[in-house]
Amino acid sequence: SAIEHNVSRALLLADKSAYNYYRDFTEQGYYNRIISGNINQVLKVDSVVVNFTNYPYDVRTYAKQMIIRQSNVTERSLVSSCKLKNSGRSDDNPNGFIIENFTVIENKDILTIKK
């Protein structure tokens, strides 16, 4: 229920492109496997590059994802892109932007360390 609550809040900030990723992961059992496998994930954002010269604004995010299992820790490279459109500010959207055309460009293993 905590995952569903947080994802629901996040999906208020995006168009259907983000929801489609969530739906696909749910259908593939991704979230159930995380819970049943007692897996923790940590996402560290390295940088966010925004081009404010053209509207809607192009965004590219570079991050590292740590997948922590009982037997090992896997580090992954995560690169995503989207467009930002202005939106009204609210309690659910304090920054006043909506994410559109969210796409995962890269999500690959960099390193796996046995525990």
pLDDT digits (tens, 9 = 90+) for 15-36: 999 999 999 999 999 988 998 9
Compute the distance between CA of residue 101 and CA of residue 36 in angstroms, rounded to an integer.
31
Structural tokens at position 48: 């966010």
CB-based contact 42:65 (threshold 8 Å): yes
Q: What are the backbone angles phi and psi of residue 90, rounded to the nearest 5°?
A: -155, 175
Q: What is the per-residue pLDDT for 31?
A: 87
Topology (CATH) of 2-114? Nuclear Transport Factor 2; Chain: A, (3.10.450)
Instruction: Map tokens 């580090």 to a residue.
Output: 75
Nearest by Cα to 73 from 111, 35, 43: 111
- pTM of the entire predicted model: 0.87
What are the boundaries of each domain within the chain?
A: 2-114
Q: What is the per-residue pLDDT for 87?
A: 94
